[in-house]
Chain A
Amino acid sequence: MKKKWFSYPYLLWMLLFTVIPMALILYYSLTDTVNGETVFTLANFQKFFQPVYLKVLWHSLVLAFYCTVGCLLIGYPMAAILANQHFVKKKFLIMLIMLPTWMNILLRTYAWMTILERNGVLNSFLGFFGIEPMQFLYTEGAVIMGMIYNFLPFMVLPIYSVLVKMDKSLIEAAEDLGANRIQIFRKVTFPLSAPGVISGIVMVFMPAVSTFVISRLLGGGQFALIGNLIEQQFLWVGDWNFGSALSIVMMVLILLSMAVLNRYDKDKEAGGSLW
């Protein structure tokens, strides 16, 4: 209690760089400049509900959904292998998963560009087998792949931390009661790892919905996502009011999806050991 003032620098930091900017965004989203005067209006939000922008939002949600499903399909088996006590190269594999996250997302994504280019690594490799160069870069597939690549660790680690803590005698109990490996997974392992899966989904889905770097670099700008839209409003169009409104919409969407997922997440500690 006495050491309360230790938290002041942190509170100040939060105030300056989180609370005030958020308040500004809210302010901008609810105002507009008409003839040099600032007026309160809901026009920015109204503007959003036009088919053009709704389509962008829908597209973002669909891509983020694909990315999350992809991460889950790749990440779960990966986490399961890592959690297996008989797996010896565990530390090495965790390193491999963690290492790219220490690099800037821009660098990682640029690396993928050189791989996927028309004259890139992948097409050269396929060329050895006499396969004609294909268009990989600037496709929807490239964007989804880039997202999966970038956000996979956020799926693997929470699932891993739940699986590794799981009581192994439960598996034996299921085996003892007649369950084969598939039944054990379906009836015991998966339900018990649900908290990890949920945190994984949250932690992949949120950045995937709002990403703009990946879609711009790997999608070549032809797949405008809501993140790109916001970026455009602030940097190119200069319509801060509409950009702020878009940000608010996205924030509400993310908060809603988190609220929904939280209802299924009984074990609040899931993944907590990692983050």
Chain B
Amino acid sequence: MDFQSTQFLKGGHPLAQHIIELFDVCKDFSGTQVLKNINLYVRKNEFITLLGPSGCGKTTTLRLIAGFEQPTRGQIYFYDQCINRVPPYQRRLNTVFQRYALFPHLTVADNIAFGLKIRKVPAEEMKTRIAHVLKLVGLSGYEKRWPDSLSGGQQQRVAIARALVNQPEVLLLDEPLGALDLKMRQGMQIELKNMQRQLGITFIYVTHDQEEALTMSDTVVVMKDGRIQQIGTPEDIYNEPKNAFVADFIGESNIIDGLMKKDFLVEFAGREFVCVDAGFGFDIPVDVVVRPEDIKVVAPEEGMLKGIVTSLVFLGVHYEMQVEATGFNWRLHSTQMYPVGSEIGMNILPDDIHIMEKSAPQIGEEES
């Protein structure tokens, strides 16, 4: 599949320069292949997110870019220079670590000054730059504090400040919000996004949280088992998932076996539906993906499908229901409450039916 061209067509700034590019990068750890032919480019000033379940290779990809690991095969380019052999301390990028990795023997100000001191930045400039980044992360006045006297969120801000003060061209973030509670995480998501826009720095962000990926990114790279599954804007990834894995990973989905009868007509759940997809051929088995929020609940006699409500959970904004219909357990969202056991009708519009090629059985790969 040609990910590069899709990214080029659908990404935000197609003419922006590629700041980092990975060509056919593979990485083995003691015989196990954790990255398989990764091809990826990162445009200048974009917010790109590597998204996937744990063990999918997203952190390894980030560590390769940072220079903590060397690729087994393939090349990594920074602008037009191959940086495979360049040690981390000579790369013009900085990392925000998952567990912050603040130096416990240094104060907040000294932690932030670490990179500047090594670059021999004059004391006066150092002071103003430290004050500036501390203000940026909302920790002015914390200069003299010790890292272990700060909360997780504050430590995270110091870690971000420590990276940003060096004015890197690329900032790598390895699940930086993973250790924070939900409320703080949401606040930091917005702040990080604003910072990235303000500073005009390229962010490469690693997360397993699909919501985080969708809200913050310009481009999302979905990974699984060391392979890239799909690259695209958050809208693309959500609305046009390339395969059942992406559809399932990015939000909940009903994934059901179907048969593509011909262009714009698909058969599943015992009847034919009009859809918007074409080009599969005739009578081809496919995966049909329908988002829970795209199923409209109607009166039983008006529905395309009829089913019985088997479970009901109140989630605040809406109810989540499981509906048994034609031997399949449909998951759907509704603002209306239908008690368990009641019969309802379900309508699915052509636009909301996503047809995917059956994922080919993957040989010789263990599921992680």
Contact = CB atoms under 8 A, between A and B. Distances in A.
Interface in A147-181: 167, 169-170, 172-180
A172 B88 contact: yes
Nearest to A188: B103
B105 interface: yes
A177 B102 CA distance: 12
Contacts of A167: 99, 101
A173 B166 contact: no
Nearest to A167: B101
A179 B105 contact: no
Interface string B333-362: 000000000000000000000000000000
Given A175-B87, A176-B95, 4 more contacts: A172-B101, A179-B89, A191-B105, A192-B104
A187 interface: yes
B89 A173 contact: no
A177 to B, nearest CB: 4
Interface stretch (B111-119, B218-226, B282-290): B111-119
B94 interface: yes
A179 B118 contact: yes
B87 A177 contact: no
A167 B97 CA distance: 12
A18 interface: no
Interface string A81-108: 0000000000000000000000000000
B115 A169 contact: no
Contacts of A172: 66, 68, 88, 95, 97, 101
B162 interface: yes
Interface of B: 66-68, 87-90, 94-95, 97, 99, 101-105, 114-115, 118-119, 162-163, 166
Given A172-B68, A183-B118, A192-B104, A178 B87 contact: no
Q: Which of B66, B104, B163 has the most CB of A within 10 A?
A: B104
B105 A177 contact: no
Contacts of B95: 172-173, 176
A180 B89 contact: yes
A169 B95 CA distance: 11
15 contacts: A172-B68, A172-B88, A173-B103, A175-B67, A175-B68, A175-B87, A175-B88, A176-B88, A176-B95, A177-B89, A177-B162, A177-B163, A178-B115, A179-B89, A192-B105
Contact of B114 (A169, A177, A180, A192): A177
A176 B66 contact: yes
Nearest to A175: B88
A9 B162 CA distance: 56
A205 B66 CA distance: 43
Contacts of A174: 103, 114
A192 B66 CA distance: 24
Interface centre among A167, A176, A178 (most CB of B within 10 A): A176
Nearest to A266: B105
Nearest to A177: B115
Given A178-B118, A178-B166, A170 B87 contact: no
Contacts of B105: 191-192
A180 B88 CA distance: 9
A148 to B, nearest CB: 29
B89 A176 contact: yes
Contact of B99 (A169, A177, A187, A188): A169
B101 A170 contact: yes
Nearest to A176: B95
Contacts of A179: 89, 114, 118
Nearest to B159: A173
A28 to B, nearest CB: 46
B89 A170 contact: no
Contacts of A188: 103
B101 A173 contact: yes
B269 to A, nearest CB: 50
Chain B CB within 10 A, most for which of A169, A188, A191, A192: A169
A174 B90 CA distance: 12
Contacts of B118: 177-179, 183
A174 B68 CA distance: 12
Identify the interface centre among A167, A170, A178, A183: most chain B CB within 10 Å of its CB: A178
Looking at B89, B97, B102, the one whose CB has the most chain A CB atoms below 10 A away is B89
Contacts of A192: 103-105
Contacts of B67: 175
A191 to B, nearest CB: 5
Contacts of A170: 101, 103
Interface string A17-57: 00000000000000000000000000000000000000000
A192 B97 CA distance: 19
B160 to A, nearest CB: 13
B97 A173 contact: yes
A175 B68 CA distance: 9
A249 to B, nearest CB: 36
Interface string A182-210: 01000110011000000000000000000
B228 to A, nearest CB: 25
B89 to A, nearest CB: 5
